[in-house]
Each structure stands twice: as C-alpha cells, then as structure tokens.
Amino acid sequence: METPSTLPGRLRFYSTPLPTIQLKNGPGNKPRRVYGKGYWDCETDPSGHYAYALESLHAYLHQWRIDRDGTLHPLSPHQVDAHSHPDSLRFHPSGRFAYVSCSHGAICQYQIRAGALVPLKPTEVYANVSPSPLWFDRAGNYACAVTAGVEGGYPATDRVHIYRVHKTGYLELIHKIEVWGASGKISSAAFEEKIASFTISGEALGR
C-alpha cells in the first residue's frame, strides 16, 4: 500500500448519480421504459442508452440496451456476476469503466464494451461493510468510497477509502482516513448522497 505522501495535498471528489427509470412488461413480455408507475426500477448509464438492474437480494445484475421506442433488449451477457447484495452502480468519468458497491464490502469493477459490463481481473477490491457508491475526482485518477462506523463493533468510526484508478480501470487502495468529530457529518452526508462533492485535505474532510 502506498503512503499518504503519494497523494496530492488536496483532492476534491464528486458524486455522479445516475438517472433512474421505471420499467414494465410490454408486448411480447419485453421490458419497456415507462414514465408512470412501473413494476421495478433500473438505472441508466450517463448516455441514457443502456439500463441496469442490480439484484440486491442476490449476487448479480442484468443489463439492456434501450431502443428508441423504449423497448429494452438484453445485452450479451444479460446477467453479470457481482458480489453479495450489490446496491449501487457508478461510471468512471471516462465512460470506460463501471463499479458496483456491495453490502459485504466488495467493490466490483468492470470494463464497458458497447454498454455491456465485463468483469475486470481481479474482479473486485474490498472496503469495509456497505461501501457507499464511488466518488471520483474530475480527472478520474482517484476514487473514494465512504463506509459507516459500527456502534460497538469494528470499525468504530466512519472511513474514507481512497483508490488510485489505473489505466486498466483497476482500483488500488492507497489510503484510508478515519473520520472523527465534525468530519463525521460530512461523511454521513456523502454516504447518504445528500451533498454533491467534498474535499479531502490531508486527513480532514471539508465541503
């Protein structure tokens, strides 16, 4: 693991929440995009051309191409492995990679090929339990995830896990920050996606 001295003096991270769409079964039982009440929700990629459903009770996700009329066509493969209870999807600023945070601590990493998520090797890195969706700096050189402290357990404090993003899309953990005091409010807001950006300067968090 690299030392904190390899990091820039100040890093600013931004969230990139994805559009959520609702789906229902259309003609031929094909899923269709709808704007009213649907049967289930999916997230799209930033372009809005592809849709993804995280199966949070299992260990995989489904992916489709969205046609002009709103019909969803399964990508190949249609079902992609994730880890236990995948609960958030984020795309790298370059649009070449995607990352899924899972409740037991894995962050799965994928290359994107014509909208399809293809697992990288290694397929995941680990944080603590229930990492937040990934946040990236503007250039996409660094990513971070926030994990909540466990009352009476380990870790007792919130943590920020900072990763270097390699050209291959692979995440390398290079630093962890223990969050204390006033910074805890910022980490909680980041975890709950109630702020759009925050700054890390040394060992401190700021807005």
The model's pLDDT over 9-42, given as tens digits with 9 standing for 90+, comes to 899 999 988 998 888 877 777 788 876 555 678 8
CA torsion sign for 161, 150, 129, 88 is negative
pLDDT in the model for residue 100: 97
pLDDT of residue 3: 40
**Confidence band (pLDDT; 50, 70, 90) for 55?**
confident
pLDDT of residue 1: 36
**What radius of gyration do the chain's Cα atoms show?**
18
Query: Which pLDDT tens digit goes with each residue over 56-99?
Result: 888 899 999 999 888 889 999 999 999 888 999 999 999 999 99
Is 70 exceeded by the pLDDT of residue 4? no
Distances (CA, A) of 121 to 20, 22, 169: 28, 32, 10
Q: Which amino acid is at 66?
A: I
**Average confidence (pLDDT) over 159-166:** 96
List C-alpha distances in Å: 10 to 6, 125, 134, 143, 167.
Answer: 11, 24, 18, 13, 22
Q: Is the pLDDT of residue 5 over 70?
A: no
Q: How far is CA 71 from CA 19, 22, 57, 189, 206, in A?
A: 17, 12, 25, 36, 43
Residues 96-121 pLDDT 10s? 999 999 988 999 999 999 999 999 99
